[in-house]
A and B are shown apart, each in its own frame.
Chain A
Amino acid sequence: MRAGETNRHLTGWLLASPLTLVLIFFLVLPIAMIVVVSFWQATEFSIIPAFSWENYDFLFGSPVTYRVFGNTIKYALIVWVFTLGIGFTVAYFLAFHVRTQTWQIALFLLCTIPFWTSNIIRMISWIPFLGRNGLANSALISAGITDEPLDWLLYSDFSVILAFVHLYTLFMVVPIFNTMMRIDKSLIEAAYDGGASGFQTLTNVIIPLCKPGIMIGTIFVVTLVMGDFVTVRFMSGSQSANVGRLIQNDIALLQYPSASATAVVLLVTVLMVIGILLRFVDIRKEL
């Protein structure tokens, strides 16, 4: 009896160890390293491994940091609203309006087609389209809607958010679609039988049951947007910055310690956001 129990313990540990080791080496150690380096100092050509609060002092003492973090959160929030709206609608259509499973799968695959090319190509293709002499502007002018090209179409917050929504909506569609497919259709019928209107069914039955999907999609979108620096750089023409850009700049200029400090603060921010989100839904229970 006793031997059997220790054996079970041992097997448990052994079974868990490969993943634990992988996580320690590829997740915990690098993050620990980043935290350590964030307390170091650097000059142009050398890194000084001495404990110092200087990086954090500078980070929290600079108005730029707050502006940039504010900007990052602004992007995340706006993009979240749009991706959720579009993603939910698309998933709803696929799950409840498309009758046959063949069509569901076919249309779902259609959604993924843009993902056959790289992120950057999908993003950059907006640039000639939105430009001052681009397709969008010439169409607007020839349709008589505007007299002059609209400058704010490109290299603005508008273009950044447009690209983000385009790039990340699918990350919302997939988990929401997934949870919707698992809703028992008889629940919806029951709601109708009970006299609920379409809207009431949506708000009282479907949305609550889709919460885990919405939450997973939200975590995807928010973390992706908060960490993305390429989209912000290209679509704003380097005119605006988010935290990712700040880190990228520091790395490019060999300021690894200060980049690490910014990364740590970003990581903490993202973890806090996810922590708050998980308060709303117990994902493990719902799955």
Chain B
Amino acid sequence: MTKQTLSRRTLLKGAAAAGAASAFPAPMIWAQNIKDVTLRQFGTGVSNLNEVGQKVKEDLGFTLEMTALDSDAVTQRAATQPGSFDIADIEYWICKKVWPTGNLQAMDVSKIKNYDKIVGIFKDGKLTPESTIAQGTAPHTVGFTDGPDGTTFASEQTNWMTLIPTIYNADTLGIRPDLIGRPIDTWAELLNPEFKGKASILDISSIGIMDAAMVCEAMGEIAYGDKGNMTREEIDKTMAIFTEAKKAGQFRAFWKTFDESVNLMASGEVVIQSMWSPAITAVKSRGIDCVYQPLKEGYRSWGGGIGLSKNLSGLELDAAYEYINWYLDGWVGGFLMRQGYYSAVPETSKDYMTENEWGYWFEGKEATDTITNPFGDAMAKAGEVRDGGSFEERMGSVACWNAVMDENQYMVRKWNEFIAA
């Protein structure tokens, strides 16, 4: 590995090598040196999977090193250690914190082969021409910048993307139907005293506050102007309601990592909590009944994408574009969709999924045969349908996106008070 890095550095930075690179036509250099390239990618555990790295090696020939971190660590690294990565796999709401640091470079849309096939949510915010745009940091609002060196976000589509969308999903509450024993259909149930000492919410403020807002709105306590960009007064009211519930013993615990949420649910400590889709699957795979409950107020959604480090240039940059195009080409899409997420370019993923899988995951149809995830675990039996239905039904009822608010710092302080209360 050291040797690879060395040769890459020599190639890029050595004067002689630079001269050679300009003397020969690019494809030849490509063919010769592609195997020497190592790209370092980091992001959340959701999509930073070793399988992807292996497939990159097989299909494209270069090495992709993966580091999986939690959301806060991802933000920190992208904002403070620009030299430590080549590709940042981050979420759109994080983009709002990271982009102004200038550690990422804008991507030339004309080099993205499947750009036209990317779903509308990431381009103009609309799933279908008549759908309304959800509240919060919707991906399209931070998806474009003015030029290759832009540090602000463009209000409409330009030729320069901040992140290439890769993965997204609609989140809702997870419940244990066997321990609750009645239908749950609203976010307000999270603070229902019936579940005193058996509820949980995640302790990642930017996401937790959105869940809290969905609950307060559903309870009819607060009518928000924009849940994704609250005023100080709205933040105060929201945290007051949750602090009161906390003091009354509503919550069993707060979780910060995927594993914690799985353990809380699987051990029966908690029967209703904010949860992520693969965590539900992890509980189910232990033979415990767990539902990703669709709720009448809609979903809280998130989206992730790939950003390129400012330091990438030359051969490495070419490799990165190659990687992006490969990413949107469908293999990864299929891999992600079989875990319950959505691909930014669903139609290419279809080629890599069976008709049964496509019908179950994307179209919301009954499974015709056992559905397994990419790791071989059974996710559903024949005849089952996906919680929440088809792609259009789920992504069409997104109420808000994970967000970074103008009053973010104030919100964070209030959140800390809530945790310390």
Residues on A lying within 8 angstroms of B by beta carbon are 43-46, 58, 62, 64, 67-68, 71, 127-128, 131-134, 151, 154-155, 233, 236-241, 245-246, 249, 251-255
Residue B267 at the A interface, CB < 8 A?
Answer: yes
Q: Which 3 A-B pairs have the closest CB atoms?
A: A237-B253, A238-B254, A252-B72
B110 touches A (CB below 8 Å)? no
* Known contacts A239-B253, A255-B412, A249 near B419 by CB under 8 Å: yes
CB neighbours of B419 from chain A (8 A): 238-239, 241, 245, 249
Cα–Cα distance between A181 and B184 once the two chains are bound (Å): 65
Taking A64-B420, A238-B253 as contacts, is the C-beta distance between A128 and B267 under 8 angstroms? yes
Main secondary structure of the interface of A (DSSP, over half): loop
Interchain residue pairs with CB less than 8 A apart (30): A44-B404, A45-B98, A45-B99, A45-B101, A58-B413, A62-B417, A64-B417, A131-B267, A131-B269, A132-B268, A134-B267, A155-B252, A155-B269, A233-B256, A236-B253, A237-B253, A238-B203, A238-B254, A238-B255, A239-B419, A240-B420, A241-B416, A241-B420, A246-B420, A252-B73, A253-B72, A253-B205, A253-B412, A254-B75, A254-B76
User: Within the complex, which residue of A43, A67, A233, A237 is in contact with B420, where a contact is CB–CB below 8 Å?
Assistant: A67
Identity of the chain A residue whose Cβ is nearest the Cβ of B78 in the assembled complex: A45
B263 is an interface residue with CB less than 8 A from chain A? yes
Q: Total contacts A to B, CB within 8 angstroms?
A: 86
Main secondary structure of the interface of B (DSSP, over half): helix
> Are A64 and B416 within 8 A (Cβ)?
yes
Report B172-205 CB contacts with A as 1/0, cut-off 8 Å.
0000000000000000000000000100100101
Beyond contacts A67-B421, A154-B269: 7 other A-B pairs, Cβ-Cβ < 8 A, are A45-B98, A131-B267, A132-B268, A155-B269, A238-B255, A238-B419, A245-B420
With A62-B417, A67-B420, A254-B75 in contact, is A46–B252 under 8 Å at CB?
no
User: Is the CB–CB distance between B100 and A45 below 8 Å?
Assistant: yes
Known: A62-B417, A155-B253. A45 touches B267 (CB 8 A): no
Complexed CA–CA distance, A134 and B97 (Å): 42
Within 335-384 of B, Cβ neighbours of A (below 8 Å) are at: none
B79 at the interface (CB under 8 A from A): yes
Interface string of B51-88 (1 = CB under 8 A from A): 00000000000000000000011011001100000000
State A64–B75 Cα separation when bound (angstroms). Answer: 26
Q: For the complex, what is the distance from the CA of A128 to the CA of B420, rounded to whole Å?
A: 24
Chain A residues, CB < 8 A from B32? none
Which residues from B are CB-within-8-Å of A255? 409, 412
How many Å lie between the Cα of A58 and that of B253 in the bound state? 27
- Let me know if B408 is at the binding interface, CB within 8 A: yes
CB proximity of A262 to chain B, nearest CB, Å: 11
Q: How far is A249 from B100 in the complex, measured between Cα atoms in Å?
A: 22
How far is the CB of B269 from the nearest CB of chain A, in Å? 5
CA distance A46 to B72 in the complex (A): 16
**Interface contact B97-A133, CB-CB below 8 Å:** no
A45 to B251, CA, bound (A): 32
Nearest CB of B to A265, in Å:
15
Q: Which residues of the partner chain A approach B80 to less than 8 Å between Cβ atoms?
A: 254
Cross-chain contact B267 with A239 (CB below 8 angstroms): no
B72 CB contacts on chain A under 8 angstroms = 252-253
Given contacts A154-B269, A237-B253, contact A252 B100 (CB under 8 A): no
Chain B nearest CB from A93 CB (Å) reads 37
Q: Pick from A64, A240, A253 the residue with the most CB of B within 10 Å.
A: A253
User: Residue on A with the closest CB to B102?
Assistant: A45
Q: Do A45 and B97 form a contact, CB below 8 Å, given A67-B420, A131-B267, A254-B79? A: yes
Task: List A contacts of B413 (CB < 8 A).
Answer: 58, 62
A266 → chain B, closest Cβ, in Å? 15
A55 to chain B, nearest CB (A): 12
Given contacts A131-B267, A237-B252, A239-B254, contact A252 B76 (CB under 8 A): yes
Which chain B residues lie closer than 8 Å to A45 at the CB level? Answer: 79, 97-101
Contact bitstring B88-101, A, C-beta under 8 A = 1, else 0: 00000000111111
Q: Which residues of A contact B421 (CB under 8 A)?
A: 64, 67
Query: From A47, which residue of chain B is reached at the shortest CB distance?
Result: B80
Report the minimal beta-carbon distance from B402 to chain A, rounded to whole angstroms.
Answer: 15
Known A64-B420, A155-B253, A238-B253; contact A132-B100, beta-carbon cutoff 8 A: no
Knowing A67-B420, A238-B253, A252-B76 touch, does A43 contact B267 (C-beta < 8 A)? no
Does B98 contact A68, Cβ atoms closer than 8 Å? no
